[in-house]
Every structure is written in C-alpha cells, then in structure tokens.
Amino acid sequence: MENLNFKRNRVSSIDILRGIIMLIMALDHTRDYFHVKGISEDPANLATTTPALFFTRWITHFCAPVFIFLSGLSAFISGQGKTKKELSKFLITRGLWLVLFEIVVMNLILTFNPAYNTILLLVIWAIGWSMVILGLLVLTSYQTILIAGLVIFLGHNITDHINFTRGGIIGELWKTLLAARGSVYTLGPDRVVLMGYTILPWTSIMLLGYSLGHFYKREMNEAQRKKSLLAIGAGLIVLFVVLRLINGYGDPSPWTTQKSWLFTVLSFLNTTKYPVSLQYACMTLGPAILFLAYSEKLKSRFTGFATVYGRVPLFYYAGHFLLIHMLCVIVFFATGHSFSEIADPQSPFLFRPVDFGFSLTVTYLFWLMVILLMYYPCKWYGQYKATHQKWWLSYL
C-alpha cells in the first residue's frame, strides 16, 4: 500500500527538500548583507573569488530552480481535488498576488526604503508570472503543459545565438520573457527597476515540476515512482555533463582551462543563472529529483527540523529577509556607522554600505543565527496553517 504522506495534500519528501533549500537560501541572502564583498564583487568571478566563496555561492544555485520546480509539483498535487477552472483561477490569482507582494512588500523589506527608489523584480516575481502562465495552461491538457515545458526548457538557449537589437515594446518583451541577463528600467531621475529574473526559462521549470506531479498521483505505485524519479534525475545530470563537455549549447558561458585543476573544476560548474541556462537547470534539478526519489521514507531529527521551514515557504522567505535586514541595522550602528551613512548610492539597501561587512566565517555565523531565530516563528505558523481552514492561508 502507498506509504507516501498525502496528509492535507502535503508530501513529506517535498517539504523536506523545500526546507533544506530554504535553509541554504538564507546563506546567500546573509552573504548579501553581511559579507564584506557581498555587493562589491561577484563570488562566481574566477579572477577574484576563492574556492570557499565560490562554493558558498554555488550551493545556493540550487535554491531558485528547485523552489520553482517544487512550486509546480505542489500545484499539481494540491490541484487533485479541484476542477481545471478552480485550479486555474487559484494559480492566476495567487500568481498576480505574488507579483504584487514582490513589488510592494518584498522591496520594502529588502531595501528598507519607503520611497522605492530601487525596485527589484526577483524570484517571487518569476514565480508569480510562472503561476499565471501555468494557470492559463491548466485549462488545456497535461500533455500541452509537458510539451510547452520541454520546448522552452530545452530550446530557450537558442536565443544565446540570436542578436535581437530591436527596441520598443517587442524588444522589451523579448528581454523580459527570454533573453535578459538583468534589465534596468528608469522610471524617473531617482527611481529604477531592476528585473533580475527573465520569465519564460523559469516558467518552463515550473511547468516541468507540474508535469512531474503525474508520478505523485494517489494511485501511482511507489516503486514505479521511485524508478521514474531516479531515471529523470540521473538523466538530467548526464545531460548537464554531456552538454558541458561539448561546450557548445545550453549555456552562454563556456568553461575554460584555468590556472589550476581546482579552478578548472570551478569553471566547469560555473553555469549561468541570469537568465537561467539549460545547463544550470540540469545541474541543479537533477540532484533535487534524485533526492525526492530517496527521501520518501526519510525520518530523522534533521528532516523534522527542515520540514518546519519547508511547510511555510512564503512566510519564511519574507521573514528571514526581514530578520537579516533588521540584524544588519543593529550591526550597522553597533560597528560605529552614523546616520549619514545609511544611504549609499552604490547599494540598493539602506543600512548596508558597499564597504560594510565581515569575513566569510563571520557571515556563516550570522547565517546560523538567522535560521535558528526563524525556527519557532515558522513552527508556530505551520501549526496555525495546519489547524485553520481560512481561505487566505493558501495565498501565504
């Protein structure tokens, strides 16, 4: 008989993986605010980075694609008890809500700037629009969603070889949907919008996550599901390795021989996130799907710990950013900085000057502090969601 835990449409292995991803996510965001080079240098720049700094950044590459992939998978599972129209309406309205949440709430938390001089359109923005697109496609068929996901996922890097310079609305749509590494839009003399997440490549990941939900139907045999997940996960890893060795398609930044074997390995792993490349997605999603295959029966103190965070993703996401920025303010003043230094024209975050920060070791200590301080708020909110049926809880 099926051993998968579908209590209230929740699957324990998904919550475990999502929780682990969210714990890792906090490391990258803590680095942004507390590492001395968090703003001034790119940790993936092989000319200036160190192996420790590179892997601190590289491990967090798993966060966005796995988070979005699991959002699609969860949409399929939660939609099992809904009609197509009900699921479509929920996904579209929640997606639009997330876009609004990113612009209004997350930007205030990220910058602490009520004037919104810099508006950042990041992962919640991408998830929101991906949900809207998935919500529209839900009205078609499972096969349509799968095909659309595969076509965009496998084929969008063709745009790496297309020099599209046309301006106007068509040009902006091209950048927004497919090809932008990071678009900056000026809304006035003192207000800019930075769109860091190009929509369609991320949407393809959500569509494929939704498609993987086929293996999580209640009637699906557990052994067959595990076998299928192993094949898909291993296949993605093999595809990553093959494409990386060929060095001709799937990522606009080919790897090169470096000053040492270690840095050559770093170059091999240094795939492109903005916009997310096929190789980047295969590198991160393959291991994640293997984890899903092996974690259905995992039960330990650590998995219980991770699940606390994995059950409340949006609450944790907004909450941990708020906590990190509040700690940054406290440390800002505690280290002797003055009110005149609150705003740095080179930094989008108030209370976080470019030259502010600590060593990587101290940054890790702040990361551990953040995840431990978030534990009981997440546990309380998770218990509240599990014991209440209010409609708005599904949007948070």
In the DSSP assignment, the letter for residue 277 is P
Q: Quick one: how many helices (H) and strands (E) in the chain? A: 16, 3
pLDDT: which is higher, 331 or 166:
331
pLDDT: which is higher, 177 or 89:
89
Phi, psi of 39 (to 5 degrees): -110, -35
Residue 266, pLDDT above cutoff 50:
yes
pLDDT band at 293 (very low <50, low <70, confident <90, very high): very high
Helical (H) or strand (E) element with 183? strand 183-188
Cα dihedral 360/54/41/119 (nearest 10): -90
Q: Are 112 and 350 in contact, with CB atoms under 8 Å apart? A: yes
Which residues lie closer than 8 Å to 341 by C-beta, 6 or more apart?
332, 353
In the DSSP assignment, the letter for residue 388 is -
Q: How many CB atoms lie within 10 A of CB 251?
A: 24
Break the chain into its structural domains and give their ranges.
7-395
Question: How much is the pTM?
Answer: 0.93
% residues pLDDT > 90 (the chain): 80
pLDDT band at 335 (very low <50, low <70, confident <90, very high): very high
Give me the pLDDT at residue 1, please. 31
**Amino acid identity at 130:** S
Mean pLDDT lowest for which of 133-137, 161-165, 211-215, 227-231?
161-165
Tokens of 224: 């067959």
Beta-bridge partner residues of 185: 193
Give the residue from 132, 314, 282 showing the smallest Cα distance to 205.
Answer: 282
pLDDT band at 5 (very low <50, low <70, confident <90, very high): very low
3-state DSSP assignment of residue 189: coil
Residue 305, pLDDT above cutoff 60:
yes
Q: Compute the average pLDDT of residues 233-238.
A: 98
Q: Compute the average pLDDT of residues 361-371.
A: 98
Round to whole Å and give the CA distance between 131 and 212: 16
Mean pLDDT lowest for which of 18-22, 112-116, 190-194?
190-194
Give me the pLDDT at residue 235, please. 98
Q: What is the pLDDT of residues 26-41, one digit of tens each?
A: 999 999 999 999 999 9
Give the residue from 279, 264, 374, 268 showing the smallest Cα distance to 317.
Answer: 374
Q: State the maximum Cα–Cα separation within the chain, in Å, rounded to a whole number.
A: 65
Give me the pLDDT at residue 221, please. 87
Q: What is the DSSP string of 192-255?
A: EEEE-S-HHHHHHHHHHHHHHGGGGSTTS-HHHHHHHHHHHHHHHHHHHHHHHHHTSSS-SS--
Q: What is the DSSP string of 306-365?
A: HHHHHT-HHHHHHHHHHHHHHHHHHHHHHTT--GGGS--TT-SSTT--TT--B-HHHHHH
Give the residue from 110, 136, 135, 134 showing the smallest Cα distance to 122.
Answer: 110
Q: Compute the average pLDDT of residues 122-129.
A: 95
Q: What is the pLDDT of residues 155-205, one digit of tens each?
A: 999 988 776 666 667 777 777 777 666 678 888 888 899 888 889 999 999
Residue 396, pLDDT above cutoff 90:
no
> What does the mean pLDDT of the chain come to?
92
Give me the pLDDT at residue 161, please. 76
Residue 312, pLDDT above cutoff 90:
yes
Q: Compute the average pLDDT of residues 295-315.
A: 94
Phi, psi of 189 (to 5 degrees): -65, -20
